[in-house]
Structure 1
Amino acid sequence: MTDWQQLYENHIEQVSQFFEKAMALSLVDGVIIFSGAPKRAFLDDTYYPFKANPFFKWWVPLLTQPHSAVVFQPGEKPQLIYFMPQDFWHVTPEAPTGYWVDSFNITVIDAVEVIKSVLPNNLEKFAFIGEETQLADKWGIGQTNPEKLVNYLSYHRAYKTAYEQQCLAQANQIAAKGHQAAITAFQQQQPELDIHLAFLSACGHQESHAPYNNIVALNEHGAILHYDHYQSTRPAQYLSLLVDAGACFSGYIADITRTTSAVQSGKFNQLIKQLDQAQQWIIQQIKTGLDYAALHDQMHQQIAVILTELEIVNTTADSCYEQQLTRTFFPHGLGHLIGIQTHDVGGWQQDEQGTQLNPHPDYPFLRLQRPIAENMAFTIEPGIYFIDLLLGQLSPVQQKMINWSVVNELKPYGGVRIEDTVIVKQQGVNNITRQAFAAIE
């Protein structure tokens, strides 16, 4: 049984050490990490779904707690300012409980105006981390989102503590149940909207609590990389389902994609199987010290083999790769860092100082360009799609290498994407997504 309290206490100790070092770089004595404030729609009295500051969630597993803050000063127990308004219009937050509460001195407030009175007296040597920078000025805080501090923290967020790894694993177990429910709804020939709702129901999530807009794409919609339209009517035929959808656990995110064929035979079904095998092969190549961009390039070489073997292209695998045909069928990056954000920060950051690489010259959509290291968590999500826009941009030489009869046969299926989250260990990786599916089968 997981000892969540011990894991969390160790996590807080490590996060505290990161903050102490980052604060020394910015010459501040304390940090106030503000959770955020709800944002009201323009000329309206409704609010957008609240999303907590990720640095706040790094400290405390509160996703929907606005007007709250963590106050950290080295050598002192962190203070949590917990907003608990008296309200008959909305549900009042419950008093803080759980494995995490003993790590804080908790101050409960019932009005936003009270926050300043419960902060330390002299804030000139403090830093404010958050979006509501006007509060830093109002409260007399010396620095707002200091660059050196934020860069240092963003760099180290790529390396997950044991607590974070367990949270990511739990999120994947929740999302795996959602994917199972989505496939069942597809087999029952339900429309996209109902498949989407089946996923949320199985995860126990409201739509606003999902980590990102679910992608639920039937047939040719699978060729739209960020499709989130959810048609409410059934298509004329059911060929394929692509679901890219996740879940949250204590602020940590699962990001999983699965593609399903309506029949267990045919070229599209074979495409799914071969991409799945290639994805598992590329995961086996992961090792510390390897540059993620090099891994992405190896994936393109594997996709060239698939395109050749399935006769989607009329050339050799080497020629397919050298002529850059794979970029038409696999236009996005192999994956990204993941944690308290779906696309976790620091993917292009090369050091603690914040040095950023420019977009990759060959693969500009690649979100992760740094050497792979132990305890990194990232996704591996290759895809093969049949996108009219990109196919139409092929040069005359490239067009001659395309087997258009096969491409036209596969276009109605949209495309294939398969996505898992892995955590790098000293030897190999933990594929927490595959482990999650295995646990519920």
Structure 2
Amino acid sequence: MDTQTLFQQHITELQQGWNAALQNTQPGCDAILIHSGSSHNYFADDHAPPFKAWGHFLRWAPVDRPDQFVLLVPGHKPRLLALVPRDFWHDQSLETERWWADCLDITFMENLSELATHLPGVTTLVFLGENQKLAADLGIPAQQINPASLLSWLDYDRAVKTDYEIGRLRQANAHALLGHGAAEQTFRDGGDEYDIHHAYLAACQVLDQELPYSNIIALNEKAAILHYQNKRRYLNSAGKPPNNVLLIDAGCRAYGYCSDITRTWAAEDAHPVFHELLKRMQALQASLVDSVVPGVSFADLHRKAHLGVAQLLTDTSICYGNPGTLVDDGTSTLFFPHGLGHLLGLQVHDVGGRLANRSGDIAPPPEQWPGLRNTRTLDAGAVVTIEPGLYFIPALLEPARSTTAAKSINWTLVEELIPFGGIRIEDNVLTTDEGADNLTRNVA
């Protein structure tokens, strides 16, 4: 099916869903105005960080720019109110490709002051977006600015993707895998973190600011830092340590939709136990992917991941004891301290991960794992990341030496493995009635 047909179907589905949300949560209101967001300068500066439009706006129009608006009036074609200032400092041109532009009624504005002239009666208008002052200045009543009941409904529904959205997520995965291949080769060739990062960018033909998040390029012991933010560089080979392990967590965007992929690579002469852990982690991650089916609790999948990690720890003699006990007493969390994954879409950590229903009730994470981002029961059409990990993190392990967990840990082997950092394997997985569709592995 061609892109324009898919996008038109996507818009039709959005209209139906948003109309129902408006009628059920905001009786008496007859239109929604969605704001893409505003650009903000750094404190005491005249420069701004790169802008990313709000996800709920991008679902309607792939226009990743500040101060754009979509006006939804049930029974009418969605309307894009596009601010295109007359400006000689910056390029303000807006490409309106037919595949999406034909699905919207587009009105151009040179100044934000024109917005009011294109709106229906504001007393029955709902405003969604960050610029609440703008909404108030338009005369929109306070209770109709970002109403929680409407946002909860929309956030909950965003977990299930349309066919158009799934296609864009596939593209984002295929694109990112080009970079992952180049990164692995640069690691094998002895490149430093800076070299690997730029090999990724070059293979994907993207700029840093176009990435969905800052690449994590972690060599050796830095792989134990979950959101490692640096890119170490060596101007010459003097003092450069050998490349034993690379953990790369990096994605791409396709018209706003994100991929989030992690791979771990080890040199041939890395520690043999680390190699065994890597092989077993790849198998564990594949089995967890296969467990992604409609009706499964993501919290249950998370516990299953911990049991798998605990089994790896005991099978390789890093820990002693029963895997279930290692999970229940928190020992496995010392080695696997993050969640199994999260919802994925227009945001890397997409909204609605802890919503139990459209009404906004929260499905709390297990008390043992308060950081779990996704606690939902999966529906067909939901896209999640599956990313088990196993790390040797001194900041967690050193305090454990004085706890009851200490007796369960083979400290001699742990100390040997600390220089190798850790392992994470992450794929992006679509839940379907037929089972898991691994968007990362099935990119053809």
Q: Could you tell me whether the CA contact under 8 Å between 1:380 and 1:420 is conserved in 2?
A: yes
The match for 2:282 among 276, 279, 284 is: 276
- Report 1:246-257 matches (<5 A): 246-257=251-262
* 1:79 corresponds to: 79
What is the TM-score when the length of structure 1 is the normalising length? 0.95
* 3-state secondary structure, aligned to 1:71: strand
Picking from 363, 384, 407, the partner of 1:400 is 407
Q: Please say if residues 167 and 250 of structure 1, whose CA atoms lie closer than 8 Å, have aligned partners that are also in contact.
A: yes
Compared with structure 1, are the counterparts of its residues 390 and 76 closer, same or farther at alpha carbon in structure 2 (3 Å cutoff)?
Answer: same
Q: Which residue is equivalent to 2:158?
A: 157
Is residue 392–residue 421 contact of structure 2 (8 Å, CA) maintained in 1? Answer: yes
Aligned partner of 1:290 among 296, 321, 329: 296
- SS in structure 2 of the partner of residue 124 of structure 1: helix
Q: Alpha-carbon deviation of 1:67?
A: 1.5
1:290 Cα shift?
Answer: 1.4
Partner of 2:69: 69
Residue among 325, 329, 340 paired with 1:323 = 329
TM-score, normalised to structure 2's length?
Answer: 0.95
Shifted more, 318-327 versus 24-33: the winner is: 318-327
Contact 1:85–1:93 under 8 Å retained in 2: no
Partner of 1:130 in structure 2? 129
Residues of 1 paired with 2:73 and 2:257: CA distance? 25
Pairs within 5 Å for 1:121-270: 122-142=121-141, 143-233=144-234, 235-263=240-268, 266-270=272-276
Partner deviation per Cα, 1:77-136 (whole Å, 9 max, x = no partner):
11101122222211222341231111111011222222222233x111001110011110
Q: Secondary structure at the match of 2:377?
A: coil
* Aligned twin of 1:300: 306
CA distance in 2, matches of 1:116, 1:96: 23
C-alpha separation in 1, matches of 2:350 and 2:328: 32
1:9 aligns with 2:8: yes
Are the counterparts in 2 of residues 382 and 419 from structure 1 also a CA contact under 8 Å? yes
For residue 148 of structure 1, report the CA deviation from its aligned partner: 1.1
The alpha carbon displacement at 1:174 in A equals 0.6
Shift of 1:337: 0.4
Q: How far did residue 204 of structure 1 move? A: 2.0
After superposition, residues 382-401 of structure 1 pair within 5 angstroms as 382-394=388-400, 395-401=402-408
% of aligned pairs identical? 39
What is the CA deviation profile of residues 29-52 of structure 1, one whole-angstrom value per residue up to 9, with x for unaligned ones? 100001112111122111111110
Q: What is the match of residue 433 of structure 1?
A: 440
The 1:98/1:202 distance shift into structure 2, 3 A limit, reads farther
Distance, in Å, in 2 between the alignment partners of 1:318 and 1:146 is 44
Report if the CA contact (8 A) 2:116-2:138 is conserved: yes
Q: Does 1:378 align with 2:387?
A: no
Q: CA deviation at 1:264?
A: 6.5
Show CA shifts across 1:18-69 (max 9, x none): 1111111112110000111211112211111111011100111122x21210
- More divergent stretch after superposition (251-260 vs 302-311): 302-311
- CA-CA distance at 1:74 after TM superposition: 0.2
1:400 is displaced (CA, Å) by 1.6
Deviates more, 1:70-79 or 1:178-187: 178-187
The CA distance in 2 between the partners of 1:232 and 1:93, in whole Å, is: 37
Code of the aligned partner of 1:106: I
Using the TM superposition, give the Cα deviation of residue 314 of structure 1 relative to its aligned residue in structure 2, in angstroms: 2.6
Name which of structure 1's ranges 67-76 and 188-197 shifts more when overlaid on structure 2. Answer: 188-197
CA distance in 2, matches of 1:264, 1:409: 14
Aligned length: 434
Task: List alignment gaps of at least 5 residues for structure 2.
Answer: none
Once residues 94 and 68 of structure 2 are traced to their aligned partners in structure 1, the CA distance between those partners, rounded to angstroms, is 14
Which residue pairs with 2:111 in the alignment?
111
Contact 1:79-1:107 within 8 A present in 2 as well = yes
Distance 1:100 1:348 in 2: 31
Cα deviation for residue 282 of structure 1 reads: 1.4
Conserved in 1, the CA contact under 8 Å of 2:291 and 2:436?
no
Mark the CA change 1:291 to 1:404 in structure 2 (over 3 Å): closer, same or farther.
same
Q: Of 339, 344, 352, which residue of structure 2 is paired with 1:338?
A: 344
* Contact 2:299–2:365 (Cα < 8 Å) also in 1: no
Match of 2:30 in 1: 29
Alignment equivalent of 1:353, drawn from 353, 359, 363: 359
